[in-house]
Amino acid sequence: MASPEAQQTSGKMMQLMKEQADLQPVVDTYEQYKEAVRDEADSRDLLKVEEDPDMREMLKEELEQALSKKESLAEELKLLLLPKDPNADRNVILEIRAGAGGDEAALFAADLYRMYSRYADRKGWKVELLSVNENGLGGFKECTSMISGAGVYARLKFESGTHRVQRIPVTESNGKIQTSTATVAIMPEARDVDITIDPKDCRFDVFRATGNGGQCVNTTDSAVRLTHLPTGIVVSCQDEKSQLKNRAKAMKVLKTRLYDLELQKEQQERADLRRSQVGTGDRSEKIRTYNFPQGRVTDHRIHLTLHKIESMIDGDMDELIDALIREERTRQLSINGAD
């Protein structure tokens, strides 16, 4: 970083700064580990020659502390040295769709969007709603948004799958508990170097935006519908007043979906990788239940139940996400050990 070449090239300096940031935790932990090894050796050497009973007791305590510290730091180093997900630092495209349950499923989909938005606020991330199809009750039949910030994909990648809610819907007059579902897809944002799209493979249609919007959004043909002919993927974007801006955002979402398809294909071809993950990420896999009468959230992949549903829906998700990350790291360690 101190070399003239790095200081004169902004791209090179940024690359080196990122590399340093990635390596620093490993270096710091290894230095602490070496210190614990030295403390252990010093305590053992002194115990060989020390005859005073009180001093020996103190040295034994120091030895136990050094051994405990060395063991915990060794485990931490193993985790730090695990292969890093190449998409960990990427932004994500978040897609939420109402599933079984009619209007209640759409209301639940809107609740999930607010949950992720509030979690993003807690983490200092930016949320940008790209498109939404609402029902008449304030629910979302489907919505697409982008979440940008540091380490977004690393924290949210386990959210893909089917989410289930059990509660008394506002549309229910006789007080019966109903079960509804919504699907969540978390896709790492594609970069231009990841996916190349031939313009001939795309069809753009324009239409008038619907739903809530500012002046001009609902009165001009600014909304864009992009169809990728080879795959049949359709992307709509209507949040901007400018047709050109909506077109650019729609293309970004399309690239991300195509990139996600490539990732899914790779995971299917590599069974060992799929086994190392917490769940498959399959959109049809039921990953979590939100039971409002019992006040609990249960993640079925790691058999974890938290009795904090209100705070969870308000974006307090770190405890659950940390548990999912720990489980993934444990499985990676097990596979690396077997190899």
Locate the domains of the chain by residue range.
4-80, 92-193+280-338, 199-265
8 A C-beta contact, residue 280 and residue 269: no
Overall residue count recorded for the chain in this entry:
339
- pLDDT value at residue 274: 40
For 165, the 3-state DSSP assignment is strand
Q: Tens of pLDDT along 180-189?
A: 999 999 999 8
- pLDDT value at residue 288: 96
List Cβ neighbours of 111 (8 Å cut-off, separation of 6 or more). 165, 313
Burial of 106: CB neighbours in 10 Å, binned 0-12, 13-18, 19+: buried
| Two tokens, residue 263 | 């990732």
Give rounded-to-5 percent helix, strand, coil for the chain: 50, 20, 30
Integer Cα distance of 310 and 107 in angstroms: 16
Helix locations, the chain, DSSP H: 4-8, 10-49, 53-80, 103-123, 152-156, 243-269, 271-276, 309-313, 318-338
- What integer is the mean pLDDT of 2-25? 80
User: Does the predicted TM-score (pTM) go above 0.85?
Assistant: no
Q: Indicate whether 139 pLDDT > 50.
A: yes
Q: Which among 45, 42, 29, 36 has a CA at the least distance from the CA of 67?
A: 36
Integer Cα distance of 120 and 186 in angstroms: 14
For 95, the 3-state DSSP assignment is strand
Integer Cα distance of 187 and 231 in angstroms: 17
For 186, the 3-state DSSP assignment is strand
Q: Indicate whether 174 pLDDT > 80.
A: no
- What integer is the mean pLDDT of 203-212? 70
Burial of 104: CB neighbours in 10 Å, binned 0-12, 13-18, 19+: buried
Instruction: Reply yes or no on domain 92-193+280-338 having CATH 3.40.50.920.
Output: no
- pLDDT value at residue 5: 80
- What integer is the mean pLDDT of 247-256? 86
CA 229 to chain centre: 30
Q: Which among 315, 313, 312, 310 has a CA at the least distance from the CA of 121?
A: 315
- pLDDT value at residue 192: 64
Integer Cα distance of 23 and 336 in angstroms: 20
Q: Indicate whether 309 pLDDT > 60.
A: yes
For residue 122, what are the CA distances in angstroms to 115, 126, 143? 11, 10, 21
Q: Indicate whether 59 pLDDT > 90.
A: yes
- pLDDT value at residue 169: 85
Q: Indicate whether 335 pLDDT > 90.
A: no
User: In the CATH scheme, what is the code of domain 199-265?
Assistant: 3.30.160.20
For 276, the 3-state DSSP assignment is helix
Integer Cα distance of 146 and 144 in angstroms: 7
* Mean predicted lDDT score pLDDT of the chain: 84
Q: Any idea what DSSP says for residue 232?
A: T
Q: 250 pLDDT band (50/70/90 cuts)?
A: confident
Percent of the chain at pLDDT exceeding 70: 86
Greater confidence (212 vs 244) lies with 244
